[in-house]
């Protein structure tokens, strides 16, 4: 059944697309049924949308007794909350009754102006869809997993006769076997380094492999078997690859036993050189297993989650164990209302955590969570094995959870200490610059260029949690009307692009009262509008920024220009603000150090972005701008002619001799470099 809403659709809000476009059931992973939308609008709509209990009660009358997912929306059609239910009618009706709801739920109900629903075939499908929508829509009243960083994996390819072992991050589209996740890049790099010693697998790219004429240094230091030059046959190299697969799949003892047998056999045959090779590989294998921190004896594969709360914040520590080794750990600080218990936060966190990651066979938890078996069934449906969630009560697994819980407590203690210090600095910053409230979002801008070339503007963001690196932005200066080296013009372009887009996507900046109301609603993402703009520069840069913002109709953003002291002496900075005389802060003032740190981070980011752009331009061969020349044809041309300059001087007949270059493409290339003669 489908009951369409008469609420006008907002084409600019991608979050409000039809649920059919958001989620369709994969016939290979579930019942094969497509989810069904039920949406509507409260009847007798007044010019101002009704909100609260009456709106929800109106929807309840039309809901089925089916499993599904519901979304609560405010007057601006922003998603407030996403939930799942075994029975939509019963679950949603609980919001229509004034009962024992917490202040958080009451506030959410009062803001609700509309609802949207998606029915699913099973509650398991509803759970998976709920986790997906929470991560994508980031509703204000849900527990939110702050997960802006992907996990690295080890990849052993399957598209080459001599497979390469490498670190991989991102979408798993390349053909091969993936092992992980690892908690950090350093953990995966260390493991690959040890695996090179143990299994002698190559790490070079395919292009380097194809161009080798003699073994590289890695062969000399016994970290590669050098299949590129035939030092080992492809058949024997594949044997090394198979051993690596066995080891990473948890069969380390089988691999060790086979190596010992080969070493003893070589020694008996007096082939001491080969026996020494196996001896070194076994030693490398032992080093890998003994230098991974805490290593379980009876748990080959598991993820361990431990939750700890203090000071109104929550820390969840996650440990990854694979092949009986500790592959690292990571601390998370999810956004959750202070009224939620540890088990509530942990349950929502685990469901979201595996939305885009493979789950192991065993997940150990510090607390019993709601829908524990349901989450296990949902993760099993996504995997090729059964997934079990378990709270251990004794033995080694209990010790693993206890170790994770200790780490969670210590990580939260460090964070609370850092947050308190950061809050004091922000309060001092508000006092120094006469801000109306303590800033939640500070944006710092700087430009970088060399005599006007490859100009880049950088924006960094800081707040109560420190630097928000996922919010950083760079702006490649594009305007041809700007004179090279015109810092004022560059800053105007950056401000124009940044704030015209911000106005389009988020509307005008909120008032102080609106911002205060958002704080009362509970934790949320960093606000889109800054509370303070720091500009690396003096009065000229500040006036450029102020004039640009006024042209956009923005008048109420606090602006501060930070000019370097005489001889660029740190500690002698001068500050400029509209309508106020310039001033300096006392030497050794903590607020001065804080501002210097913000400015230096913006400078570092802008310089790094500029260097990247300059490096990319330097590496361009002159072939990149020719229509139809992609990486493959570019590689073929350079391989045939040796240099880009030789390509520019080549005759048409020479270009036709290049593999993959058609007659039409050869004419295009020739005409590009010989326009006067064409």
User: In 3-state terms, what secondary structure has residue 40?
Assistant: strand
- Give me the mean pLDDT over the 519-532 stretch: 70
Longest dimension (CA), the chain: 94
100 versus 90: the higher-pLDDT residue is: 90
**Do 96 and 89 form a contact (C-beta atoms < 8 A)?**
no
Cα distances (Å, whole numbers) of residue 25 to 21, 603, 636: 11, 47, 44
Kindly report which listed range (173-182, 267-276, 287-296) carries the lowest average pLDDT score.
287-296
pLDDT at 565 over 90: no
* pLDDT band (50, 70, 90) for residue 103: confident
User: In 3-state terms, what secondary structure has residue 142?
Assistant: coil
User: In 3-state terms, what secondary structure has residue 160?
Assistant: coil
State the pLDDT at residue 650. Answer: 85
State the pLDDT at residue 498. Answer: 94
Classify strands 559-563 and 532-536 as parallel, antiparallel or unpaired. Answer: parallel
* pLDDT band (50, 70, 90) for residue 514: low
- pLDDT tens digits along 49-67: 677 888 898 899 888 899 9
CA-nearest of 388, 363, 392 to 374 is 388
CA trace torsion 55, 58, 64, 69 (10° rounding) = -10
pLDDT at 77 over 60: yes
- pLDDT tens digits along 616-675: 665 566 677 787 888 788 888 877 887 777 888 888 888 888 888 888 888 888 887 775
Fold match, 302-414 / 433-617: yes
User: Within 13 Å and on the Cβ side, how many CA atoms surround 21?
Assistant: 5
**Do 556 and 530 form a contact (C-beta atoms < 8 A)?**
no
State the pLDDT at residue 308. Answer: 94
* pLDDT band (50, 70, 90) for residue 513: low
* pLDDT band (50, 70, 90) for residue 297: low
Cα distances (Å, whole numbers) of residue 247 to 161, 299, 300: 20, 15, 11
Quick one: the chain helix, strand, coil %, rounded to 5? 45, 20, 40
Question: Phi-psi category of 642—alpha, beta or left, where left has phi over 0 and alpha has psi -120 to 50?
Answer: left
- pLDDT tens digits along 175-223: 888 887 888 787 788 788 878 888 889 998 888 888 888 888 998 888 8
Q: With 0-12 CB in 10 A as exposed, 13-18 as middle and 19+ as buried, what is 109?
A: buried
State the pLDDT at residue 112. Answer: 92
**Do 127 and 84 form a contact (C-beta atoms < 8 A)?**
yes
CATH says 631-677 is which class?
mainly alpha
* pLDDT band (50, 70, 90) for residue 430: very high
Sequence-ordered list of residues with C-beta below 8 angstroms from that of 117, at least 6 positions apart, any chain: 19, 37, 38, 39, 59, 63, 68, 69, 70, 71, 88
Architecture of domain 14-137: 3-Layer(aba) Sandwich (3.40)
* pLDDT band (50, 70, 90) for residue 146: confident
State the pLDDT at residue 5. Answer: 37
Sequence-ordered list of residues with C-beta below 8 angstroms from that of 614, at least 6 positions apart, any chain: 450, 453, 454
Question: Phi-psi category of 360—alpha, beta or left, where left has phi over 0 and alpha has psi -120 to 50?
Answer: beta
* pLDDT band (50, 70, 90) for residue 248: confident
- pLDDT tens digits along 575-609: 999 988 999 998 888 999 999 999 999 999 988 88
Alpha-carbon gap, residue 177 to 623, rounded angstroms: 36
- Domain positions in the chain: 14-137, 152-290, 302-414, 433-617, 631-677
Alpha helices in 433-486 (DSSP H): none
| Homologous superfamily, domain 433-617 | UvrC, RNAse H endonuclease domain (3.30.420.340)
- pLDDT tens digits along 439-485: 999 999 998 877 667 788 899 999 988 888 889 999 988 877 777 77
- Give me the mean pLDDT over the 393-407 stretch: 92
Question: Phi-psi category of 69—alpha, beta or left, where left has phi over 0 and alpha has psi -120 to 50?
Answer: beta
Scanning the structure block, which residue is given the tokens 């932005």?
473
State the pLDDT at residue 26. Answer: 40
State the pLDDT at residue 252. Answer: 66
What average pLDDT is seen over the chain?
Answer: 81
Alpha-carbon gap, residue 42 to 176, rounded angstroms: 52
CATH says 302-414 is which class?
alpha beta
Q: How many C-beta atoms lie closer than 10 Å to residue 128's C-beta?
A: 26
Alpha-carbon gap, residue 187 to 295, rounded angstroms: 14
CA-nearest of 414, 465, 523, 467 to 138 is 523
Q: What angle do CA 410, 413, 416 make, to 5 degrees?
A: 150
Point out which residues pair with 574 in neighbouring strands: 563
């Amino acid at each position: 059944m489908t009951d369409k809403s008469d609420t006008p659709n907002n084409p600019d809000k991608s979050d409000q697309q039809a649920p059919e476009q958001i989620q369709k059931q994969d016939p290979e992973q579930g019942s094969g049924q497509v989810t069904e939308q039920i949406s509507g609008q409260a009847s007798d709509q007044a010019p101002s949308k009704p909100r609260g209990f009456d709106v929800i009660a109106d929807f309840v009358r039309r809901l089925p007794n089916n499993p599904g997912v519901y979304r609560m929306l405010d007057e601006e059609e922003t998603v407030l909350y996403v939930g799942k239910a075994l029975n939509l009618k019963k679950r949603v009706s609980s919001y229509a009754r004034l009962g024992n709801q917490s202040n958080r739920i009451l506030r959410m109900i009062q803001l609700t102006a509309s609802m949207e629903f998606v029915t699913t075939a099973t509650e398991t499908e509803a759970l998976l869809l709920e986790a997906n929508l929470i991560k994508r829509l980031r509703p204000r009243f849900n527990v939110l997993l702050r997960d802006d960083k992907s996990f690295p994996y080890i990849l052993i390819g399957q598209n080459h006769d001599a497979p390469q072992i490498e670190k991989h991050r991102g979408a798993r589209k390349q053909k091969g076997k993936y092992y992980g996740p690892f908690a950090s890049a350093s953990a995966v790099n260390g493991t690959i380094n040890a695996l090179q010693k143990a299994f002698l697998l190559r790490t070079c790219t395919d292009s380097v492999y194809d161009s080798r004429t003699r073994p590289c240094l890695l062969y000399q230091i016994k970290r590669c078997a050098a299949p590129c030059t035939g030092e080992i046959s492809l058949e024997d190299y594949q044997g090394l690859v198979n051993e690596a697969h066995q080891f990473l799949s948890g069969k380390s003892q089988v691999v060790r036993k086979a190596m010992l047998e080969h070493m003893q056999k070589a020694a008996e045959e007096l082939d001491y050189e080969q026996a020494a090779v196996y001896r070194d590989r076994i030693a490398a294998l032992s080093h890998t297993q003994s230098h991974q921190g805490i290593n379980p004896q009876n748990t080959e594969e598991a993820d361990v989650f431990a939750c700890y709360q203090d000071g109104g914040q929550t820390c969840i520590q996650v440990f990854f164990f694979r092949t009986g080794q500790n592959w690292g750990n990571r601390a998370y600080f999810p956004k959750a209302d202070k009224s939620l218990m540890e088990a509530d936060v942990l349950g929502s966190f685990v469901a979201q955590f595996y939305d885009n990651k493979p789950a192991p066979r065993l997940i150990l938890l510090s607390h019993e969570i709601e829908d524990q078996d349901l989450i296990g069934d949902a993760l099993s449906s996504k995997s090729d094995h059964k997934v079990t969630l378990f709270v251990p009560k004794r033995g080694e697994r209990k010790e693993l959870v206890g170790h994770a819980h200790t780490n969670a407590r210590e990580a939260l203690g460090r964070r609370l200490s850092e947050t308190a210090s950061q809050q004091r600095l922000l309060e001092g910053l508000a006092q120094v610059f006469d801000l109306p409230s303590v800033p939640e979002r500070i944006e710092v801008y700087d430009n970088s260029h060399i005599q006007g070339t490859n100009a880049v503007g950088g924006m960094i963001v800081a707040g109560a949690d420190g630097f928000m690196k996922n919010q950083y932005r760079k702006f490649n200066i594009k305007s041809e009307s700007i004179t090279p080296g015109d810092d004022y013009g560059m800053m105007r372009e950056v401000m124009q692009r940044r704030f015209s887009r911000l106005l389009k996507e988020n509307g005008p900046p909120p008032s102080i009262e609106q911002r205060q109301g958002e704080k009362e609603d509970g934790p949320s993402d960093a606000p889109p509008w800054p509370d303070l703009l720091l500009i690396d520069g003096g009065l000229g840069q500040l006036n450029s920024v102020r004039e640009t913002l006024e042209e956009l109709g923005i008048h109420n953003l606090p602006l501060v220009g930070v000019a370097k002291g005489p001889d660029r002496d740190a500690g002698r900075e001068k500050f400029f603000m509209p309508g106020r005389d310039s001033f300096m802060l006392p030497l050794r003032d903590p607020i001065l150090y804080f501002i210097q740190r913000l400015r230096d981070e913006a400078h570092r980011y802008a310089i790094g972005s500029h260097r990247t752009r300059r490096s990319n331009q330097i590496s361009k061969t002159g072939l990149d701008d020719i229509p139809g020349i992609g990486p493959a044809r570019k590689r073929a041309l350079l391989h045939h002619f040796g240099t880009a300059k030789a390509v520019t001087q080549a005759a048409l007949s020479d270009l036709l001799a290049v593999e993959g270059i058609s007659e039409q493409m050869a004419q295009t290339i020739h005409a590009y470099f010989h326009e006067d003669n064409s």
